[in-house]
Amino acid sequence: MMKQPVSMTMPEPTDLRTMAYTRWAALLANISPTVVAKVADIVSERKAGLAAQFYDAMLADNEAASFLSHDIVNNQLHASMQKWLQELFQNTDLAQITAAIAHQRSIGEVHARIHLPLHLVARGITILRQGIYVGLAASDMDRADLIQAADYVTTLTALALELMSAAFMRSTERAVRSEEAYRLFSLGQDIHVERERQRAMLMEWAHMAVSTLYRSAGHALLPLGKSEFGLWFHHKGQIMFEGSNEVNHLNASISRIDGALLPDLIRSIDEGDSDITRTLMADLDSEIVTIRFHLTTLFDRHVEIENGRDVLTRLLNRRFVPVVLSREIEFINKNHGKGFAVLLIDLDHFKRLNDEHGHDVGDLALQHAAGIISGCIRAGDFLFRYGGEEFLLVLAEVDQTIALRIAEFIRKRLESNPISVNKEKKLTITASIGLAIYDAHPDYQYLISAADKALYEAKRLGRNCVHAAAQVAAVPSEAPDLLPITQ
């Protein structure tokens, strides 16, 4: 099917893909090839009617219709649904199964991006499945083949739904984490303050633990994992610092304290064994010092990253792009507001600049460009360091005319404000800009993909220029997949 943009979510676990491959291969191995071919023919013959039946039902449903429009269905989704149906039932070659599994996953990721409820996806699968059953019943297949065909359709569509749902859940979990991080950032969360707060909470628990134990009241002591610090770490800290080795060390220390040291201390105090108590108290103090060290390391390493800003340019980092674009789409849908634009701004010949003048000058150019662009936009706009020498700009409440005017203004400002390499030399920085206007498709990746293609065209045209993409819905052949509700 059509090319999927680079996903911002983690891939599904290998064991899930292996399981799906095994089940898909077993399904094909245990069914007559003649039946498989007959089902594929029936689906191919009836695909237009199945798609029409599907979207008629969805557009008549108030909840499902909120994710659709007649224009998107007629111009884009109807044909894409037919293509998905045909390809799902024509994947009879084992070599094609891996790609088909990846495709179902990508569909689930898109559903997560547009916040499409899983029950609507399941309902859509049921509508399609029932339509195929009708086609089977109208065929000339005998009873035995019909039973086998119905089982094949049921199992294959259920597997596709399972793969979509698994990817949906993984993507949704990651989106929720980014949403929470963005919420904290937007409220002015200071990670320095959070670091000191949690260090204080840890030490408060340690002092309370020592006091409680020495009063021989250890049985009333709240475990570290249930303390204010422990609750923060388990429910927020692990999300903030996901993937860091220190998280594993902290988990191990908390488990050691709550699972071994505290029970042993309580036992030694009850038994009056002061020598063992002193040794265990020293061990407890050592574990607290270890936790404090790893906690400080985590915060220090993530001060800039988790504060939501790129270290070099001080712009928003790209982890918040999905949150911002999803909110812009939601705002427009709820308030029937004016559209918005995405601009991808790429500094021209940046590799050559680095090679000829060094990375220090390259860093200076990025900081210079970030300052110029920031000075050209409004308080309600969002500017991200998107990667390397590329910036992503979200212009709120603009049409294409205004967005083009702003983009051209940014291009001219960059070109007319060279950077000083030294007292004798200045370098002119130019940029190529790709622009795309939101046109009601619920998946923000469509918009990013369109802006990226416009940027490529600006470079092809000679760089140092602005190019606007055709409206997203007008270029379905280049857009990602959404199934079964949207495509």
Q: Which token pair is 245?
A: 């080795």
Strand pairing category for 382-387 and 390-395: antiparallel
**Distance of alpha carbon 79 from alpha carbon 88, whole angstroms:** 14
- At 389, which CATH number? 3.30.70.270
Residues 329 and 448 in one domain: yes
> pTM of this prediction?
0.51
Residues 385 and 460 in one domain: yes
**Distance of alpha carbon 186 from alpha carbon 258, whole angstroms:** 36
Residues 67 and 171 in one domain: yes
The owner of tokens 């000058």 is 361
Is residue 132 a part of any domain in this protein?
A: yes
Residues 36 and 95 in one domain: yes
Predicted confidence at residue 2, as pLDDT, reads 34
Residues 216 and 170 in one domain: no
Predicted confidence at residue 56, as pLDDT, reads 85
**Distance of alpha carbon 32 from alpha carbon 255, whole angstroms:** 54
Is residue 485 a part of any domain in this protein?
A: no
Is residue 440 a part of any domain in this protein?
A: yes
Residue where a domain stops, chosen among 153, 178, 203: 178
The owner of tokens 């574990």 is 287
Is residue 438 a part of any domain in this protein?
A: yes
* Residue 423 one-letter amino acid: K
Residues 160 and 196 in one domain: no
Is residue 266 a part of any domain in this protein?
A: yes
CA trace torsion 143, 147, 153, 158 (10° rounding): 160
* Three-state helix/strand/coil letters over the chain: CCCCCCCCCCCCCHHHHHHHHHHHHHHHHCCCHHHHHHHHHHHHHHHHHHHHHHHHHHHCCHHHHCCCCHHHHHHHHHHHHHHHHHHHHHCCCHHHHHHHHHHHHHHHHHHHHCCCCHHHHHHHHHHHHHHHHHHHHCCCCCHHHHHHHHHHHHHHHHHHHHHHHHHHHHHHHHHHHHHHHHHHHHCCCCHHHHHHHHHHHHHHHHHHHHHHHHCCCHHHCCCHHHCHHHHHHHHHHHHHCCCCHHHHHHHHHHHHHHHHHHHHHHHHHHHCCHHHHHHHHHHHHHHHHHHHHHHHHHHHHHHHHHCCECCCCCCEEHHHHHHHHHHHHHHHHHHCCCCCEEEEEEECCHHHHHHHHCHHHHHHHHHHHHHHHHCCCCCCCEEEEEECCEEEEEECCCCHHHHHHHHHHHHHHHHCCCEECCCCCEECCCEEEEEEECCCCCCHHHHHHHHHHHHHHHHHCCCCCEEECCCHHHCHHHCCCCCCCCC
Residues 108 and 42 in one domain: yes
Residues 320 and 302 in one domain: no
Residue where a domain stops, chosen among 127, 147, 178: 178
Sheet with 382-387: list strands edge to edge. 316-317, 382-387, 390-395, 341-347, 431-437, 466-468
Q: Which token pair is 323?
A: 């949150």
Domain that includes residue 401, residue range: 316-478
Is residue 486 a part of any domain in this protein?
A: no
Residues 46 and 167 in one domain: yes
The 10 Å Cβ neighbour count of residue 37 is 13
Predicted confidence at residue 177, as pLDDT, reads 61
Residue where a domain stops, chosen among 178, 205, 234: 178
Residues 359 and 299 in one domain: no
Q: Give yes or no for a contact between 218 and 262, defined as CB atoms under 8 angstroms apart.
A: yes
**Distance of alpha carbon 99 from alpha carbon 163, whole angstroms:** 12
**Distance of alpha carbon 361 from alpha carbon 67, whole angstroms:** 47
- Total count of domains within the chain: 3
Q: Give yes or no for a contact between 379 and 393, defined as CB atoms under 8 angstroms apart.
A: no
Q: pLDDT tens digits, the chain, 487 residues: what are they?
A: 333 333 333 344 456 778 888 888 888 889 999 999 999 999 999 999 998 888 888 888 777 777 766 677 676 777 888 888 888 888 777 778 888 888 888 888 887 777 777 788 888 889 999 999 999 999 999 999 999 999 999 999 999 888 888 887 777 666 666 665 665 555 445 667 778 888 999 999 999 888 888 777 667 788 998 888 888 887 667 756 766 788 889 999 999 999 999 999 999 988 888 899 999 999 999 999 999 999 988 887 666 544 567 778 888 888 888 888 888 888 787 766 678 999 999 999 999 998 888 888 899 999 999 999 998 888 678 899 998 899 999 998 888 999 999 999 999 999 999 998 777 788 999 999 999 999 888 888 889 999 999 999 999 999 999 999 875 333 333 333 333 343 3
Is residue 184 a part of any domain in this protein?
A: no
Is residue 287 a part of any domain in this protein?
A: yes
**Distance of alpha carbon 471 from alpha carbon 48, whole angstroms:** 25
